[in-house]
Chains A and B, each alone.
Chain A
Amino acid sequence: MPFDGFMYPNEVELQWSVLIVVYPFLTGLVAGAFILASLERIFHVEAVKPTYRLALLTALSFLLVAPLPLQLHLGRPERSLEMYLTPHTSSAMAMFGFVYLWYLMAVILLEIWLEYRKEIVLLSQSTTGLKRQMYRLLTLGSSNLSEGALKVDDKVGWVVSLIGIPSAFLLHGYVGFIFGSIKANPWWNTPLMPVVFLFSAMVSGIAIVLLIYMATCKLRHIKIDMRCVDTIAQYLLYTFIIDFGLEMLDLIHRIYEADESFHSLNFMMQTKLFFSQVVLQIALGTVVPILTLGFIQIFHVPEKVRKLCYSICGALTIIGIFAMRWNVVIGGQLFSKSFLGYTTYKVDLISREGELIAAGLLLLPFIILAVMVKILPPWPRDEVSAAD
């Protein structure tokens, strides 16, 4: 029997699969990567400049894949167009379509276009064949690279970034809102959910850009800018502390409140979710990175060790945030609303919502990013020539 105790018939089988775990994980990476990019643009954190363009392209690559898990889960992807044609304002999920579209079209694509316009114009003149046509199309017929035009790019880009920050908050806060507003599920139903999702998104986005930056430096045989990675690691630590603080606040509040769901949820944390929540999410995915990053801030650690620590912390953070999404989405469906029974989730290997598809969806943004990097190189010109 896949369940113990008493389950209502519609609770035995989980309705939201691993793909619904992948979806908030991907949107979180988008929002986090964009917020890291805005550190340089809006808050003038010059040290993270080498990752600015990379963070934008990362955000776009993950954003393009973000709706795919939902499409696969629901089936009939052509019907998703309906939410734009006949929008239903009372549906939180339908309105998410507009948040997504706004973020993609008015924020990410616009900012990337303005940031890369100079390169696009130059590439449209230096390349040949199909590539030339593509870049020419992207210039929208204007090859004005005068000082005044570039100033206009910079200023409009600044405004777009400024609008982009609340938009990024909206994008991922919205994902948390969808879970937090499900009043029938005590595991999800907390107004802290959007805030927790938002900060965990920032944590995962910063970590993924840190990892991608270090990996690309290694692949391109370029020296890692330690000032840059040290600053990113610092921001990772600060965001992590806020995120962990919020999650602990939620936990302490639940323990103190100890409502009728508490024993059931507590039992789950000690049994079914012990590995994914206590071991992966809290211990390995949060406490270890916070302690390591904190240690580096206080004591002098050699560069080589710092690099290794950042790689390990980044990877652990990503695993921890994925575990957090798993614990929220899957954990919220493992117990009965009667609080008297628990079911089991067994993910398929090969099916429309199986492990292979989920792994493919997690890999796809990196493939898109590799293509984007070829089309719009995010490296400074002097670095490109040095690598050549």
Chain B
Amino acid sequence: MLNVTDDFPVMTYFCLTYKAARKPGGGLPGVSLATFKDAEHIVRLAVASAIVLVIFLLVRAHFIPKSFGQYGHYRGDALAELTAKPIHYAGHQTCEQCHSDVLDVKKMGKHAGVNCEGCHGPQAKHAEDPGAGKPVLPDTKVLCARCHEANLAKPKNFPQVVTADHSGGEACKTCHQPHSPLLAPGEKKKS
């Protein structure tokens, strides 16, 4: 078995003298104590590098969370931490339980696929206690422009307007029914 402290200078020496030994007339000189001494600083460097490596491995062991790699290249505990976070969104099915009248208007129009909380914001608190946190009505002249402001990058068949020219700062809901935009406000689609 190799003994690092005893054999390293010998190994280093053999590696270094190999090239010299291959030269014509060259030979592998005897390994003497003087040879060990000549390579001593290299051994010191190797030991110093090994110490740095060990410190790095210790630091690494200390800093890597225990659950890292449990499921993949991330911290396994992160999943439990995320699940423990409070829920902000109620989900459109919850909204529709009480607001079925809005659902009736919405499902006939172009906004059928738009989730309630996409425009009204997260409403989990309101769903838990409808009386406590009444949602504020969104400002349609700001809200609608988020999707419908004209932009060259949007598909041509997507409804879009330059709001400044189209409405002149007027709220969109003055003319459009937000839950089914092709209808006028208050108008109900005939089924």
Q: Is the CB of B153 within 8 A of A6?
A: yes
User: Is A152 among interface residues, defined by CB-CB distance under 8 A?
Assistant: yes
- A85-B60, A85-B63, A86-B73 in contact; A148/B41 too (CB < 8 A)? no
- A9-B151, A155-B16 in contact; A144/B60 too (CB < 8 A)? no
User: Is A21 among interface residues, defined by CB-CB distance under 8 A?
Assistant: no
Q: Is the CB of B68 within 8 A of A148?
A: no
Q: Is the CB of A148 within 8 A of B34?
A: yes
Q: Which 10 A-B pairs have the closest CB atoms?
A: A148-B38, A142-B41, A140-B44, A149-B38, A155-B16, A9-B153, A152-B38, A152-B39, A85-B60, A142-B44
B7-49 interface code vs A (CB 8 A; 1 in, 0 out):
0000010001001100000000000001101111110110010
Task: Give Cα A113 to B46, complex, Å.
Answer: 13
User: Is A293 among interface residues, defined by CB-CB distance under 8 A?
Assistant: no
Q: Is the CB of B38 within 8 A of A142?
A: no
For this complex, 27 residue pairs linking A to B, each with C-beta atoms less than 8 Å apart, are A6-B152, A6-B153, A7-B152, A7-B153, A8-B153, A84-B56, A85-B63, A85-B64, A86-B64, A86-B68, A110-B45, A139-B41, A140-B41, A140-B44, A142-B40, A142-B44, A144-B40, A146-B37, A148-B34, A148-B37, A148-B38, A149-B40, A152-B39, A152-B41, A152-B42, A153-B41, A156-B42
Q: Which residues of A contact B20 (CB under 8 A)?
A: 155
Q: Is the CB of B64 within 8 A of A140?
A: no
13 more A-B residue pairs beyond the given contacts A86-B64, A142-B44, A149-B37, with a C-beta to C-beta distance below 8 A: A6-B153, A9-B151, A85-B60, A86-B68, A88-B73, A140-B45, A146-B34, A146-B37, A148-B37, A148-B38, A151-B38, A152-B16, A156-B42
Task: Give Cα A6 to B155, complex, Å.
Answer: 12
- A139 to B, closest residue via Cβ: B41
Q: Which residues of B contact A117 (CB under 8 A)?
A: 41
> For residues 1 through 47 of chain A, which have their beta carbon under 8 Å from a beta carbon of chain B?
6-9
Per the CB 8 Å criterion, the residue count for chain B at the interface is: 24
A340-364 interface code vs B (CB 8 A; 1 in, 0 out):
0000000000000000000000000
A contact face: mostly helix, strand, loop, or mixed = helix
How close is A154's CB to chain B, nearest CB, in angstroms?
Answer: 9
How close is A122's CB to chain B, nearest CB, in angstroms?
Answer: 14
Task: Give Cα A31 to B22, complex, Å.
Answer: 32
How close is A94's CB to chain B, nearest CB, in angstroms?
Answer: 11
Task: Give Cα A3 to B153, complex, Å.
Answer: 13
User: Is A129 among interface residues, defined by CB-CB distance under 8 A?
Assistant: no
Q: Is the CB of A141 within 8 A of B38?
A: no
How close is A31's CB to chain B, nearest CB, in angstroms?
Answer: 23
Q: Is the CB of B35 within 8 A of A148?
A: yes
- A141 to B, closest residue via Cβ: B44
Task: Give Cα A155 to B73, complex, Å.
Answer: 42
Task: Give Cα A262 to B37, complex, Å.
Answer: 65
- B75 to A, closest residue via Cβ: A86
> For residues 58 through 86 of chain A, which have their beta carbon under 8 Å from a beta carbon of chain B?
84-86
Q: Is the CB of B16 within 8 A of A144?
A: no
> For residues 123 through 146 of chain A, which have their beta carbon under 8 Å from a beta carbon of chain B?
139-142, 144, 146
Task: Give Cα A88 to B68, complex, Å.
Answer: 13
B46-73 interface code vs A (CB 8 A; 1 in, 0 out):
0010000000100010011000100001
B67-105 interface code vs A (CB 8 A; 1 in, 0 out):
010000100000000000000000000000000000000
Q: Which residues of B contact A139 (CB under 8 A)?
A: 41
Task: Give Cα A6 to B60, complex, Å.
Answer: 48
How close is B50's CB to chain A, nearest CB, in angstroms?
Answer: 13
How close is A193's CB to chain B, nearest CB, in angstroms?
Answer: 28
Task: Give Cα A9 to B48, complex, Å.
Answer: 53
Task: Give Cα A118 to B109, complex, Å.
Answer: 85
How close is A9's CB to chain B, nearest CB, in angstroms?
Answer: 5
Q: Is the CB of A146 within 8 A of B38?
A: yes
> For residues 142 through 184 of chain A, which have their beta carbon under 8 Å from a beta carbon of chain B?
142, 144, 146, 148-149, 151-153, 155-156
How close is A5's CB to chain B, nearest CB, in angstroms?
Answer: 9
Q: Which residues of A contact B16 (CB under 8 A)?
A: 152, 155-156
Task: Give Cα A121 to B62, complex, Å.
Answer: 37
Q: Which residues of B contact A9 (CB under 8 A)?
A: 151, 153
Q: Is the CB of A144 within 8 A of B73?
A: no
Q: Which residues of B contact A156 (CB under 8 A)?
A: 12, 16, 42
How close is A64's CB to chain B, nearest CB, in angstroms?
Answer: 17
Cross-interface CB contact of A144 among B37, B48, B68, cutoff 8 Å: B37
Q: Is the CB of A155 within 8 A of B19?
A: yes
Q: Which residues of B contact A8 (CB under 8 A)?
A: 153
Q: Which residues of A contact B37 (CB under 8 A)?
A: 144, 146, 148-149
Kindly name the residue among B38, B60, B151 whose own CB sees the greatest number of chain A CB atoms within 10 A. Answer: B38
